[in-house]
Amino acid sequence: MSLELVCPAGTPAALRAAVEAGAHSVYCGFRDETNARNFPGLNFSPDELVEGIRFAHAHGAKVLVAINTFAKAGAMDAWKAALANAEKAGADAVILADLAVLDHAATHHPDLRLHLSVQAAAATPEAIAFYADTFGVKRVVMPRVLSVEEIAKLNAAIDVETEAFVFGGLCPMTEGRCSLSSYATGKSPNLTGVCSPPEHVAYSEDRNGTATRLNGFTIDRFGAGEQAGYPTLCKGRFMAGGKTSYLFEDPVSLNAASLIAALAKAGITALKIEGRQRGKGYVTEVVRTFRAAVEAIDAGGTEVEVGRLLAGLVEGGRQTSGAYKKAWR
């Protein structure tokens, strides 16, 4: 097998669905602020993680635990506990971003395999070499701002594994450094694990359609029947220069299925599917489809029509290859 398929699980049921649909690895997080999908009702208790890892291993799949928010100054206990619980549960790797958490893991859990989260935004050979040399990081998740060519050059200059997102929600900003959610709500994926925390999101309907509000700011309005997107500022519609438009990014999902072969050629080890906040229906369909796509490419067969098969699951009803093929660079 040339490419590892790394799939999301927000709940134990989603983990089982991902494994049964063909995930080589599943990533998940604990039910607290230590991971970047800290939504109500989502994630795993330590006991659920133990059970989930047992299930995954019994089916030949790995479990990677995301502990990828930035620890609070002077209050690192939750992150230390998460590392200890991940190791105790038998995690195959932890996905980290914060220097202090990486240092603690390397010092106190030397047997844990360390992956560097996209939240660390390591996009240069120098940065990646620092994480590899200092903490023994074995894999780096590529920031979603790089083109395939840039990833190929990067891989030629480093000697750790790399993982690239191929499907799902798309951050147009450099992850780990975006403050839009903090600006509007005081909470961010970087520190509290939530972008546009749901307690600040409200939808209201009137004869003009559905308005989306984030902490009182109206950030979009969808007409009847118009496709909707996530309630994030980066995908909001604003007026500038007398024109209303999506200023940063349209509501759209990443789909790099057509670039799987190119990413493999560029030296990528693993393909990552976004969506720990999504349901079992999404996990099953996306994982099954991408597993078929990877196997078809491995076998030199016909490309699977991923875009058509998954069209009903994407944000805003649209798909993009994102920065991987960005021409304006």
Partner 1 sequence: MAEHFRGELPRLLRILAAPAGFLPLGPALTLAVRRFARRKPAVFDRLGDYGKCSFLIEPSDLDISFLMVPDGTRAEVKCLRRRAGQTADVTVRGPLLVLLGLLDGTFDGDALFFNRAIAVSGRTDALVALRNAIEDAELTPADFVGATGGLGKLVDRSVIGGLGLARRFTGSPIPGEPS
Applying CB under 8 A, which part among 82-90, 106-114, 261-269, 281-289 lies near partner 1? 281-289
Residue from 1, 41, 159, 242 touching partner 1 (CB under 8 A): that is 41
Applying CB under 8 A, which part among 36-44, 86-94, 255-263, 321-329 lies near partner 1? 36-44
161: which residues sit within 8 A by CB, 6+ positions away? Answer: 138, 139, 140, 269, 270
Taking CB under 8 A as the rule, does residue 292 contact partner 1? no
28 assigned binding-site residue? no
Residue from 314, 320, 322, 323 touching partner 1 (CB under 8 A): that is 314
How many other CB atoms sit within 10 Å of the CB of residue 71?
Answer: 23
- Compute the distance between CA of residue 292 and CA of residue 61 in angstroms, rounded to an integer: 16
Taking CB under 8 A as the rule, does residue 279 contact partner 1? yes
- Give the position of tokens 């976004």: 274
Taking CB under 8 A as the rule, does residue 229 contact partner 1? yes
Write out the DSSP string of 78-144.
HHHHHHHHHHHHT-SEEEE--HHHHHHHHHH-TTS-EEE-GGG---SHHHHHHHHHHH---EEEPPT
- Compute the distance between CA of residue 137 and CA of residue 256 in angstroms, rounded to an integer: 26
- Compute the distance between CA of residue 102 and CA of residue 94 in angstroms, rounded to an integer: 10
Taking CB under 8 A as the rule, does residue 277 contact partner 1? yes
Phi, psi for residue 25 in degrees, rounded to 5: -140, 150
Taking the least distance from each CB to partner 1, the nearer of 281 and 301 is: 281
Residue from 18, 21, 23, 42 touching partner 1 (CB under 8 A): that is 42
234 assigned binding-site residue? yes
230: which residues sit within 8 A by CB, 6+ positions away? Answer: 169, 196, 251, 315
Taking the least distance from each CB to partner 1, the nearer of 80 and 288 is: 288
Give the footprint of partner 1 on residues 197-226 (CB under 8 A): 197-199, 201-207, 210, 222, 224-226
Binding site for partner 1 (CB under 8 A): 10-14, 39-42, 197-199, 201-207, 210, 222, 224-231, 251, 277-282, 284-285, 289, 309-317
Query: Which parts are annotated binding residues for [4Fe-4S] cluster?
Result: 171, 178, 195, 234
